[in-house]
Amino acid sequence: MMAERTAPGVEHALRLFREYFFSRTDVVAFFGPWNSPHPGKGGEYLDGLLTAHLLGQEGPEAKLRYRKRDGATVAASGRFRIGSYTPAPGNKTKWLCIDFDGHGHAGALQDPEAAARRTQDLLAAKSVPSHLERSGGGKGWHLWVFFTEPVPAAKARRLALELAPRDAPLATEGLADPRKARGIEVFPKQSKIKSKGYGNLVWLPWWAGAQESGNIFYRAGDNGSLEPYVPDGFTTVDEALLDQVLTSLPEEDDCPEE
């Protein structure tokens, strides 16, 4: 499936990012020139970093400060891909993201779109709204759940691990297992972070360097097929509803963590 790139304007995207996508804004992930993510300072740098994420070569370079392994703080500038870490200190998260791996990943799903839409239907059956984004490479899918206020990461993880399918076929052989991050990954990956840790990251949508059909949101059209759209906002879930849903789920062992 191909689609025209459907992304919001900069001011619209900045509002959505700040309202929904950050459990913390003091630190963000950026894709460094060494081809891997690294934590960098957010705060007063955040809007510039996000603007460069959105516009790429069409926009200005952004300023960035980050700490090297030897403890030295380095100043840099560029147009970096930006990601959001979760959970925040206090072990709460503003969002849940279920990642359905597509072709090119180890343990890729045979049909990541079908697995994502099936999970979306299961969440909807529990009155939990979720929002479907195609990943930046255009092969896999992210299913986002946003919370009205930050909730304990352990609760968000349990919701995903109980409802994500464990019988979705992998592209090679075997079945997906979200509890082992095989084919389906759940973010946040931890219920608690270390005092000097940042948890794990998910790359933000609407990155300028994404595939034409990637890093944008989709919804079912009149004929049931997915079509791209620009969200005005996202329906959120409050903790009372989350608790109600979790109470309705069968009791299982504690959710494993990476």
3-state SS, one letter per residue, for 182-251: ECEEEECCCCCCCCCCCCEEEECCCCCCCCCCCCCEEEECCCCCEEEECCCCCCEECHHHHHHHHHHCCC
pLDDT beneath 70, residues of the chain: 1-5, 252-255, 258
Neighbours of 230 (CB within 10 A): 14
Q: What is the pLDDT of residue 154?
A: 98
Q: What is the pLDDT of residue 3?
A: 44
Q: What is the pLDDT of residue 2?
A: 39
Distance of CA 180 to the CA centre of its chain: 18
Structure tokens at 176: 């997906």
Structure tokens at 232: 């005005």
Q: Tens of pLDDT along 153-196?
A: 999 999 999 999 999 999 999 999 999 999 999 999 999 998 88
Instruction: Specify the pTM.
Output: 0.94
Continuous segment of H or E residues that includes residue 148: strand 141-152
Domain ranges within the chain, ordered by starting residue:
10-85, 88-201+211-248
Q: What is the pLDDT of residue 5?
A: 65
